[in-house]
Amino acid sequence: MSCIFCRIIKGEIPCMKLAETPHALAFLDISPLSKGHCLVIPKFHAEQLHQLPDDALAQTAVLLGRVARAVGGQNYNVLQNNGALAHQAVFHVHFHIIPKTSQGDGLGIRWNCAEADKGDLASLAKEIVAKMEATPSS
């Protein structure tokens, strides 16, 4: 398998391990945006979040919380990208914990926001709820 994160999980590629459970692994990012920037990954291979079984996601989230409390401080971002258009570079579900410091390092975000039409939001909410009700949990 050519997935770099699967190879890290197998021990074929070394990492600066922070924590490990039977279902997830946390390690320092080798190209950090700030001191303490780390990754938390499920040991189950899925390319995108919606492909991850619920139990694997829940078990990964527990480690994500533990690591965030240890490295995040008071200000940090948790980033998770899905797909190339969303800037995903490694196609294995992973969460970045990126501490933000007073020196300005960390993740820089510029949101292109505009107020949405309330009727459009109501229609979209109904559509999403219907899809969630039609899709069983994994």
Tokens of 120: 């459009």
Nearest alpha carbon to residue 48 among 110, 4, 6, 90: 90
| Assigned domain for 121 exists | no
Burial class (CB in 10 A: 0-12, 13-18, 19+), 63: buried
User: Contact, 48 vs 82, CB < 8 A?
Assistant: yes
Instruction: pLDDT band for 1, please (50, 70, 90 cuts).
Output: low
Q: How many domains, the chain? A: 1
Would the pTM count as exceeding 0.85?
yes
Q: Is position 72 within any domain?
A: yes
- Tell me: pLDDT of 114 over 90: no
Lowest average pLDDT, out of 31-40, 96-105, 106-115, goes to 106-115
pLDDT tens sequence across 60-83 = 999 999 999 998 678 999 999 999
Residue 130: inside a domain, yes or no? no
Looking at residue 99, which CATH number applies to its domain? 3.30.428.10
Domain that holds residue 18: 4-111
CA distance 39 to 24: 10
**Catalytic site positions:** 94
